[in-house]
Amino acid sequence: MNAQTISAREETYLMEVGNTTSSKPRIWISSVLRGIAILFLLMDGGMKLFKPPFVVQATVQLGYPESTIVGIGVALLVCTLLYAIPRTAPLGAIALTGYLGGAVASNIRAATPSFNMAFPFLFAVLVWAPLALRNSRLASLLFNGK
């Protein structure tokens, strides 16, 4: 390995982690929030694969045929796995934001209670919060637009 290769690797690493914070509380909070989000999303996607009666009922009430449940679950699991891998976490967060936006739209179309519409939106915030806590450049972009 030459010096140019090492500096390219270091540059790639710095681009991945961005301008991270070294605050241990922020790292812990980020890890806990990300873990909660991943566990919930894996459970939700897994339940769509096994199709217990309450999942089928809820999906049909939103206007989707039962035949789409497994495909929706697979899409959710793929997005979640992208989010769970640190290197692809931003891509996973973008994909999950799209998935959760679809959930908001489905709840609005089905005229469900307000909580059902707010939950996917709040969950999208939960998905992005750990990334913003670890990367001050991302936080600046999300909160300051710069």
CA proximity to 56, closest of 71, 76, 48: 48
| CA–CA gap between residue 23 and residue 17 (Å, rounded) | 14
Band (14; pLDDT cuts 50, 70, 90): very low
Ramachandran class of 145: left when φ > 0, alpha when ψ lies in -120 to 50, beta otherwise = left
Give the residue carrying structure tokens 């710095």: 14
- The verdict on residue 92 lying in a domain is yes
Question: How many structural domains compose the chain?
Answer: 1
- The verdict on residue 34 lying in a domain is yes
* pLDDT tens by residue, 17-69: 555 545 888 889 999 999 999 999 999 999 999 999 999 999 999 999 999 99
- The verdict on residue 11 lying in a domain is no
- The verdict on residue 80 lying in a domain is yes
What does the DSSP assignment read for 32-88? Answer: HHHHHHHHHHHHHHHHHHH--HHHHHHHHHTT--GGGHHHHHHHHHHHHHHHHSGGG
Q: Any idea how long the chain is?
A: 146
pLDDT beyond 80 at 129: yes
Look at residue 20 in the predicted model and tell me its pLDDT.
52
- For residue 41, what are the domain limits? 23-134
Work out the angle at residue 40's Cα, subtended by the Cα atoms of residues 29 and 102, and round it to the nearest 5 degrees: 110
Prediction pTM value: 0.81
Look at residue 13 in the predicted model and tell me its pLDDT.
44
* pLDDT tens by residue, 70-101: 999 999 999 999 999 999 999 999 999 999 99
- The verdict on residue 85 lying in a domain is yes
pLDDT beyond 90 at 138: no
- The verdict on residue 53 lying in a domain is yes
Identify any residues that bridge with 20 across adjacent strands, giving them in sequence order: 135
